[in-house]
Structure 1
Amino acid sequence: MVEVHVRARAAAPMPPAPARDVVAARLAAGWEDDDFWVAQACLGGRPAQVVGYVRFVRPDDHRVGWLDDLYVLPEASGAGVGTALLDVVKAHLGDGFGLWAFTSNRPARRFYAAQGLVEVEALTAEESPTGQAEVRLAWPPNRGG
């Protein structure tokens, strides 16, 4: 998952991922509380490998449904991997969920819009804790999902 995360971010119009050990630590920190799903495929005649993953938070007394990560290897992009992973999230968070995307990541924003998510809030770089302009998207049930 770390490799998918780093490579997908490097190929997207967004800030690069933190160092691999930082990504690994963040993923490990969510292992107990978050849901992780991976997609595997055979690429280039090699054995099956992880080509994408999604990490999301189920709602509870303290948290709302939230999509933290959805990343697909660049060479698997366009093959339906992201759609399949997002369908898993929709199935588990049927009451709806949100996510943040970098404003600069137009391909991701187009993907989410095509999947029925709507942009509901925008932050300038100055307002965002990441220092980058971001947009919050939401998936309401019974609206394109």
Structure 2
Amino acid sequence: MGSMEVRRLLLDEMDAAARVHRMTFDQRLPWLSGLHTPAEDRAFFREHVFSHCEVWGAFQGELLGFIAFRSGWLDQLYVLPAHQGSGIGSTLLGIATQRHPRLQLWTFQRNEGARAFYERHGFVAVRFTDGSENDEKEPDVLYAWRR
């Protein structure tokens, strides 16, 4: 892999982040694919992610992954499947953990890859739900991390 650029995303890169999210989500969680349209994804990124979070991306010509976080919360961390395992997620996670002494995040219980990644980085499962309170109605788990 050549040199990678990591920087804060600009608002006009919102659509690229939404595409990375959808491609990764649909490939890694196929049982949940198709719940939202690309237009709904873009609206969510515009109205929620980019308006409430710091959003950073990793580039190598194109956006390969991104992280979105705010005080106390890690809202999004997605790396294109072909680039997972190359250190991009760890690099992005490092930005959030440098800026915040405590973070929480939700992930789905069946997302074993994400769970293993967060646990390797010191996150601890603190609550399990039946999924009745999330849009996908998928059982999830709350993780917490403290510096």
TM-score bin (small chain): 0.7 to 0.9
Partner of 2:68: 55
The within-5 A match list for 1:65-144 is 65-94=72-101, 96-125=102-131, 127-130=132-135, 131-141=137-147
Distance 2:142 2:51 in 1: 25
Normalised by the length of structure 2, the TM-score is: 0.81
Contact kept in structure 2, 1:128 and 1:134, CA below 8 Å: no
Deviation at 1:128, TM superposition (A): 2.8
- Structure 2 counterpart SS, 1:26: helix
Distance 2:37 2:95 in 1: 28
Output the amino acid matched with 1:82: G
**Residue from 20, 24, 28 that aligns with 2:38:** 20
**Gapped regions of structure 1 (runs ≥ 5):** 42-47, 59-64
- Structure 1 counterpart SS, 2:144: strand
Answering whether residue 96 of structure 2 is matched by residue 39 of structure 1, we say no
Alignment RMSD: 1.3
The count of residues paired between Structure 1 and Structure 2 equals 127
Q: Which has the higher helix share?
A: 2
